[in-house]
Structure formats: structure tokens, C-alpha cells
Amino acid sequence: MVPRAQAAVTERREMEEVREIVLRSRTVRVPVAMQRGREVEPASPEAFHVPVVEGLPAQYQELLVVPEIDPYTVIRNADGSVIIECGICPKEFGTLKGWRIHAAKMHRQNGFCQKCGHFIEMPHVRSAEEVAATMELHSLEWCPMATKATMNERAVKRRRLELAGRNDEAAHYFIPANLYFLFQARNNDTFLPLMAKLMKDAAIAIPTSSISSRSSINVLFTQ
């Protein structure tokens, strides 16, 4: 009888650390689970799928062009290794991160955004400088897959323009509705009870009684 090979299991120990969150009137100690053990290998990269874009204004939706071919292809070798083959040029990479760095350096000049996986329509752009400027504005103002830090910067700029009555300019900055709602709540104490419920539903270990200022909202918005 041949014993079955046991699946390799990554050892992991959960330890508890205490993180302090300083509010306006008190300090809350929040338990934070930590993982220690052998380093976990990253998950195997998935094949390219065009990201689903929701909530983007129509004028921006019209500028997104779905690639005719996959920007990258995942090739799995018999030995378990993976090769990421660029679909735009004959380059190969060992990781998806490597391909993203390559695409950001080499293919943005062709109007391709490696974050949202679309080409950007540029009907009135001709020179390389105009392409670079258009792609930069796409990243800063309306790319739907921008980082949280970029989204936060957009929210600040958009709110400032709205307060100044420049709503047409404010509309240039796209922010998903849920994130902008959190940003507004962080600056409006009337939303704090609702934010307490959202934080509870999200399993954030902060007692409702401790949410006495907008500082608690900052914790949720910056995660």
C-alpha cells in the first residue's frame, strides 16, 4: 500500500499585538492579529481579465478601449514555474509585478494603463508629450483602479473645489461612491453613528463607545 503524499502546509502562528489609536479625547487599544512563520509564496498569477469598471461617468467610459488581445498571457511550465508573456511586445517575465513595471515604463506611451487594463482613447492627441500628459491625468484624475493614496488625494482636491463652488472642475476627479461617502463622513460629525455601524459590520475591533471624534473615521478611510 502506497501512502498518499501529504500536501505541503505552510506553518503559521497567530500572535496578538496591540496597536494604539489616539483619538481626540482618549487612546483606544485595538488587538491586531499578526502572522509569523515561514514566508508564504505568492498566489499563482491568474489569466488576464478585463477589470469591471462601475460608476465611472459616461464621458470617461467612452475613453476606455478594451484591448483586442490580452496584454499578458500566463504560461505554466511542467516544473510548476510560471512565465508572464507580454502581449504587446515580445518580452517575458517571472512575475506579474515585473510585467506591470515593464508595462508602466514601455506601454503607457502607447496609451495603455496597466492598472485598469484598458487603452485610453486620445482622439486629439498627436505628440509623445501630449500622450504622456493625457496618461498622467488619467492616473491622477479618473483611473478606476488607482491606489487608495491617489483616491484620497482626489477626494481632497474634489472637496476643495466643491467648497469653492467650482463643481465643473470637481467633476473631473472620479472617486467610487463608497469611498467618497467615507471621506465626507470623516469631515462631518453627523455621520459618526452611521460610521460606527459600518466599522462594526467590517469587523473592526473598535468599541462603539470609543468613537467620539472624526479621528476614528480616519482609521477606516486610510486602511
Residue 178 DSSP label = H
Residue 40, pLDDT score? 46
Domain residue extents for the chain: 13-41+176-221, 58-144
As a whole number, mean pLDDT of residues 123-148 equals 93
pLDDT greater at residue 120 or residue 208: 120
Residue 196's CB is within 10 A of a number of other CB atoms, namely 19
Residue-wise pLDDT for 175-202, tens only, equals 987 776 666 666 665 445 555 555 555 5
Long-range contacts of 12-15 (CB under 8 A, 24+ apart): 12/36, 12/37, 12/40, 13/37
As given in the structure block, the three cell numbers for residue 15 are: 500572535
Residue 66 CB neighbours (<10 A)? 8
This prediction's pTM: 0.61
Written as one string, the DSSP assignment of 153-167 is: HHHHHHHHHHHTT-H
**Mean pLDDT across the chain, nearest whole number?**
77
Grade residue 52 by pLDDT with cuts at 50, 70 and 90: confident
